[in-house]
A and B are shown apart, each in its own frame.
Chain A
């Protein structure tokens, strides 16, 4: 049975987040917590593959207790099982420490159901790095396949899959053995509205939650802030631009002034 695990994250909606102009800090309370949009595509792809080939879709997240909501959203999309690792010891993790903690959880999940495929979103909209997926793949020593825009085939019996990997000017067709890890682009699928039975299941659903003590062979020095090589030393509002010259006069006069300014670069207009 094909077992696909999607790694997901609950994030603040950065489209809506507001800055406090006095302190130059983010008003996190202003932004609703949502399932990272790229991860919704990861879960949707896992669900589609399950429909195509049969199997089981699990989701895994690391986060504080309210992140359960993101798992429920994945159940709505069609995931079967949800796992969460939640512990103060994970707090402040950068991508290296995050991939370590998630890998330990994946190892534990694989003892319950061996894992054939791991799917992540391309990146999270709060961290914007895209580094956790490849990090997990390296730690599990399975091939990382990033920028995936299409799954062509999964062959469970012969243990391989074929995908399209997006390039700047096209795509490449890659064959990889299973298990492997995919980080998917948004264009891989469309996430439809959730069917009612899934929503009802999600409302009742309680994920399996593990603390650090529940994970085996874990090196606590590699977790959280302590295990993170990168630190944020300074946060500031993007430099406020000076502001330009606003032209005046009638529309015609303004257009004429603009024309003179722009035509100084006449060599550009061939």
Chain B
């Protein structure tokens, strides 16, 4: 394997709900930095049915080149068809690095491609860097349930591949009118060659927790004492117009549903304000919220690790502090909310 043949940073572009998935734009931002450091090009790898309309967006978010596989075969994500396109494209154009969002499909695809190429794949990366002279990708990730960080290298194979967690990298501010090169590609594959069939896609009608996109999150932990005590979190969130989150403890206790869980085994969130109330701050929780803009912790234990991560903290009993907060915010925001 001649490493000199492998050039450029690539990002697998995921399309979701008729637009480019946010994680793909974030990866273009991260990829731009890596490409600049290596004085090489940044490319998007776009696969789907009727997806050429997204190409301009990808240029605006930093891509120099977009490789497009546009075919009804790619109407739905399927491992076999998508991996074939990614595999062929890697063989043909030889990227030095290929990044995927650590989404269900991104992880599925990356695992399959890595096996076939074969090459090394680092999962759930949260920090990316590249050695300027050698092009060695330094992919770092939480390991052992977030207890440690590990930097993973792939010295012997190219491309170097990683899946990257949503919401840890930053998308660039789009440059309107920025352009690049479009490269259309095709695969030698027929529908009959693909063994799995998507019979139906069911969108869950109960809208998934909105904590993913919320600007403000009020999250509660075991310190609230009981499901009834957790009501305070709902009330406060209602007053300030925030989404409600929780630690794994409270999800396991059944106080809130799993989709509101913030942390290693729940969601990674990056609201502008994050209130952590009665949450001690286990590392598994911290990794899910540490990139929030302003972190405020309220806990009665002054030694709780959450105070190491917060920007501002109040040492006090949530049952006393939160009602005062509710009152203060109601007054300040001139807002009355009925507490049912």
Chain A residues touching B, majority SS: mixed
B321 in the interface (beta carbon within 8 A): yes
> By the criterion CB–CB under 8 Å, are A258 and B312 in contact?
yes
B228 in the interface (beta carbon within 8 A): no
CB distance from B338 to the nearest CB of A (A): 18
B178 in the interface (beta carbon within 8 A): no
CB < 8 Å neighbour of A237 from B120, B148, B201, B204: B148
Nearest-neighbor residue (CB-CB) of B296 within chain A: A258
Nearest-neighbor residue (CB-CB) of B136 within chain A: A233
How many residues on the B side are at the interface (Cβ–Cβ under 8 A)?
85
B153 in the interface (beta carbon within 8 A): yes
Segment 278-317 of B: residues with Cβ below 8 Å from A: 283, 286-287, 290, 294-297, 302, 307-316
> By the criterion CB–CB under 8 Å, are B324 and A138 in contact?
no
B186 in the interface (beta carbon within 8 A): no
> By the criterion CB–CB under 8 Å, are A175 and B152 in contact?
no
B37 in the interface (beta carbon within 8 A): no
Task: Name the segment of A66-74, A128-136, A195-203 touching the other chain.
Answer: A128-136
> By the criterion CB–CB under 8 Å, are B324 and A255 in contact?
yes
> By the criterion CB–CB under 8 Å, are B115 and A135 in contact?
yes
Q: Hey, which bits of chain B sit against chain A, CB under 8 A?
A: 16-17, 76, 79-80, 83, 103-104, 107-108, 110-112, 114-116, 118-124, 138, 141-157, 195-204, 208, 215-216, 240-241, 272-273, 283, 286-287, 290, 294-297, 302, 307-316, 320-321, 324-325, 328-329, 332-333
A14 in the interface (beta carbon within 8 A): yes
Nearest-neighbor residue (CB-CB) of B199 within chain A: A173
Given A130-B107, A245-B312, A233:B202 Cβ within 8 A: no
> By the criterion CB–CB under 8 Å, are B195 and A176 in contact?
yes
Residues of chain B contacted by A129 (CB below 8 angstroms)? 111, 121, 123-124
> By the criterion CB–CB under 8 Å, are A233 and B325 in contact?
no
CB distance from B111 to the nearest CB of A (A): 4
Residues of chain B contacted by A170 (CB below 8 angstroms)? 201-204
Given contacts A133-B111, A176-B197, 15 further A-B contacts (CB under 8 A): A14-B147, A17-B147, A19-B147, A96-B118, A128-B123, A135-B114, A173-B200, A229-B156, A232-B150, A233-B151, A233-B152, A235-B150, A243-B308, A247-B314, A269-B333
> By the criterion CB–CB under 8 Å, are B108 and A144 in contact?
yes
Nearest-neighbor residue (CB-CB) of B116 within chain A: A138
Residues of chain B contacted by A244 (CB below 8 angstroms)? 295, 297, 307-313
Residues of chain B contacted by A138 (CB below 8 angstroms)? 83, 111-112, 115-116
> By the criterion CB–CB under 8 Å, are B208 and A230 in contact?
no
A220 in the interface (beta carbon within 8 A): no
CB distance from A92 to the nearest CB of B (A): 13
Q: State A265–B275 Cα separation when bound (angstroms).
A: 14
CB distance from B57 to the nearest CB of A (A): 20
A147 in the interface (beta carbon within 8 A): yes
Number of A-B contacts (CB under 8 A): 244
CB < 8 Å neighbour of A125 from B141, B145, B149, B215: B145
Given A95-B121, A130-B107, A261-B312, A234:B195 Cβ within 8 A: no
Q: Hey, which bits of chain A sit against chain B, CB under 8 A?
A: 12, 14-15, 17, 19, 24, 26, 94-96, 99, 125-131, 133-135, 137-139, 143-147, 162, 165-177, 180, 228-247, 251-252, 254-256, 258-259, 261-263, 265, 268-270
Residues of chain B contacted by A14 (CB below 8 angstroms)? 144-145, 147
Residues of chain B contacted by A240 (CB below 8 angstroms)? 308
Show 30 residue pairs from A and B whose CB-CB distance is below 8 angstroms, ordered by the A residue: A14-B145, A126-B143, A128-B142, A130-B107, A135-B111, A135-B115, A138-B116, A146-B107, A146-B111, A169-B17, A171-B201, A174-B196, A176-B195, A180-B196, A229-B157, A231-B153, A235-B149, A235-B150, A236-B150, A237-B148, A241-B286, A241-B290, A243-B308, A244-B312, A245-B311, A246-B314, A246-B315, A247-B313, A254-B314, A265-B273
> By the criterion CB–CB under 8 Å, are B144 and A145 in contact?
no
Residues of chain B contacted by A135 (CB below 8 angstroms)? 111-112, 114-115
CB < 8 Å neighbour of B122 from A17, A147, A230, A261: A230
CB distance from A243 to the nearest CB of B (A): 5
> By the criterion CB–CB under 8 Å, are A144 and B272 in contact?
no
> By the criterion CB–CB under 8 Å, are A241 and B200 in contact?
no
Q: State A268–B272 Cα separation when bound (angstroms).
A: 8
Nearest-neighbor residue (CB-CB) of A28 within chain B: B144
Residues of chain B contacted by A243 (CB below 8 angstroms)? 307-310
Q: State A254–B322 Cα separation when bound (angstroms).
A: 11
Q: State A230–B197 Cα separation when bound (angstroms).
A: 33
Nearest-neighbor residue (CB-CB) of A165 within chain B: B104
Residues of chain B contacted by A165 (CB below 8 angstroms)? 104
The 4 closest A-B pairs by CB, nearest first: A14-B145, A229-B120, A134-B111, A129-B123
> By the criterion CB–CB under 8 Å, are B148 and A235 in contact?
yes
CB < 8 Å neighbour of A255 from B154, B273, B325: B325
Residues of chain A contacted by B328 (CB below 8 angstroms)? 255-256, 259
Nearest-neighbor residue (CB-CB) of B17 within chain A: A169
> By the criterion CB–CB under 8 Å, are A174 and B199 in contact?
yes
CB < 8 Å neighbour of B314 from A168, A172, A258, A263: A258
